[in-house]
Amino acid sequence: EQRWDVIPGGEPAHQFRNRVQRGIERIAAAHPDELVVAVVHGGVIGEVMNIATGSTGFAFTGADNASISHVVVTADRWAVRCWNDTSHLSPTFSTAAQPLI
């Protein structure tokens, strides 16, 4: 199932969604018309994208480490500008497992 609460001790999906939404809305209200950077884990990134697009479940899981996702939050809507952008990373950076030498 595509819910975090199927993991023992996991937070129920609706509580997680509400917590993420409240947090983002609180940040947006405190910084109107400002650029804000939030460094969060992939679960939060996925939930922000779900809220912004109306998706559910794990539609946006798998954000790469150090990727950038850009969401514009206004009083009326959340708009996705980009998701999982890694163009700023070095071409030698890889998310693939590398053998230890």
90 found inside a domain: no
**What per-residue confidence (pLDDT) applies to 67?**
93
Segments of the chain with pLDDT less than 50: none
Residue 62, SS3? coil
Domain annotation covers residue 92:
no
Task: Give CA–CA dist 80/35, Å, rounded.
Answer: 14
Q: Which residue in 24, 11, 68, 9 sits closest to 42, CA to CA? A: 68
Residue 91 lies in a domain: no
Range of the domain at 23: 4-85
Domain tally for the chain? Answer: 1
pTM of the model: 0.83
Q: What is the pLDDT of residue 19?
A: 97
